[in-house]
Amino acid sequence: MIFHASDLAVVQAYREYQVDNEALSIPKNKQLSLLHFRRRLAESLVLQNKISGKRGRPSGSSPTLQIVPRDQERHAQKLK
C-alpha cells in the first residue's frame, strides 16, 4: 500500500512536469521520460543529506562550559 501511494505521487509529479513543459513550449525530445524522471528523483533524494555538509550542532551555537576546580566547589559548598 505504501509503495502504491509513493508510486502514485511520483506519477502525479511527472504529470505536472509534463504540463509545465507544455506551458513553457519545451519540445518533447528535450523532456525526460518517466523512467529518467524517476531516476533523477531517486538520485536527488539519495543525495539530499550528502550536500548539506556537517551533521550535528553548529559549532558557533554550542554553549561555553565553565570549568571549576573541585577544590573551589567544596569551598563554595562549605560557605552555604
What pLDDT score was predicted for residue 2?
86
Q: What is the pLDDT of residues 8-17, one digit of tens each?
A: 999 999 999 9
69 three-state secondary structure: coil
Residues 34, 15: Cα–Cα separation, whole Å: 9
Burial 48-57 (b: 16+ CB within 10 A, else e): eeeeeeeeee
Domain boundaries, the chain: 1-52
pTM of the model: 0.57
User: What percent of the chain lies above the pLDDT cut of 90?
Assistant: 49
Number of Cβ within 10 Å of residue 26's Cβ equals 12
User: What percent of the chain lies above the pLDDT cut of 70?
Assistant: 62
